[in-house]
Structure 1
């Protein structure tokens, strides 16, 4: 079996699943969907680095940075106060780290981003649960 055909099929399934989850999501749940997709893609980037698939690594890290830029762009800078400023700094820091990982292939840098985003995801999960 061609491993790329399996990956293409899996990516198609994930895309349909992501679209279905996003269509039914509240704004807070949508942020969780984005975080889940981001954390999945970071795991994929790790695998690409470990297996020296550098072209796929670049594509995965680019997707991650695009999601982080989207999360950053969706922040309410006028009404969000200091929390929004801190989130923006954290998203920028993660983008900086991923840019560095792309060049250095540092798994430690990737792990740092995964750790930070895991903590943020837990926070968003708590906000989403409190809103229900």
Structure 2
């Protein structure tokens, strides 16, 4: 018998909360980006299957995660890098909105490229700094 989805979701939520409680700021950002990429994959799948409600929910989660990443930027101390990240997050949020409104998988692909580059940058940062 397959596990009830709500039970599995609850288990995953507890696991994420446990990881977040002991994570460094670097690890928290990486967890958010990884969660973003997972939800983006879901959105792409729902879009391909024409499941509009689920697509909208997955894109909404992506937008929420980007909002969290953006709000964590220290615009005062982060200088030009923080401003550039802010612009990238704004670009991704707008593309996600457009993808949802126009059911445009190409816009999701644009966001995947940008966020994939950011994700790779964070991985490289962690390797370089043994985070």
Stretches of structure 1 lacking an aligned partner (at least 5 in a row): none
Partner of 2:105: 107
* Cα-to-partner distance string for 1:59-118 (whole Å, 9 max, x where unaligned): 111110011011001100000010100000000000000000011111111011011101
Q: Which residue of 1 aligns with 2:29?
A: 31
Query: Which residue, out of 43, 55, 58, partners 2:56?
Result: 58
Tell me how large the CA RMSD over aligned residues is. Answer: 1.7
Counterpart secondary structure, 1:78: helix
Distance 2:100 2:78 in 1: 31
1:101 alignment partner, SS class: helix
Give distance in 2, aligned partners of 1:130 and 1:6.
41
Find the partner of 2:42 among 41, 44, 48: 44
Aligned length: 130
- Of the candidates 20, 36, 40, which is equivalent to residue 22 of structure 1? 20
Equivalents in 2 of 1:79, 1:73: separation in Å?
A: 14
Runs of 4+ in 1 over 2 A off after TM superposition: 5-14, 128-132
Which range moved further: 120-129 or 12-21? 12-21
Cα separation, 2, equivalents of 1:21 and 1:41 = 18
TM-score by length of 2: 0.91
TM-score normalised by length of structure 1 = 0.90
Corresponding residue for 1:73? 71
* d(CA) in 1 for partners of 2:56, 2:89: 19
**Distance in structure 2 (CA, Å) of the matches to 1:36 and 1:8:** 21
Question: Structure 2: which 5+ residue stretches go unaligned?
Answer: none
